[in-house]
Amino acid sequence: MRALIERQLYQPAVVLPLLLLMHLMVTLDFNLAQVMFVVMVKGSQQAYQFVVRHAPLCQRGGDDVEHIACRYCG
């Protein structure tokens, strides 16, 4: 179990969000209410951007959505 935890701890998908959360908490002086507020606002912004980008694609039809490349893929 310990080896599993050690292997998973060094994954960027685990480490980067923890570092971002730690930086946010230090910036806001470990005030959990402010940290949760910032996380909720950033999450809602991401959700809004997702809906804005993908809603027009879904309105055209389900078949076209899978074949359209995202702006990051090119």
pLDDT band at 70 (very low <50, low <70, confident <90, very high): low
Q: Residue 42 is part of which domain span? A: 31-74
4 pLDDT higher than 70: yes
| Same domain, yes or no: 47 and 11 | no
**What's residue 23's pLDDT?**
95
36 and 23 share one domain: no
Note whether 41 and 17 are same-domain residues: no
Residues 35 and 8 in one domain: no
23 lies in the same domain as 35 = no
Q: What angle do CA 30, 48, 55 make, to 5 degrees?
A: 155
Q: Lowest mean pLDDT of 24-28, 35-39, 50-54, 56-60, name the range.
A: 56-60
**42 and 61, same domain (yes or no):** yes
Residues 70 and 39 in one domain: yes
- Residue 69, Ramachandran bin (φ over 0: left; ψ between -120 and 50: alpha; else beta): beta
| 21 and 39 co-located in one domain | no
Question: Is the whole-model pTM more than 0.85?
Answer: no
Q: Which residue blocks in the chain are alpha helix, DSSP H? A: 2-9, 12-27, 32-60, 62-65
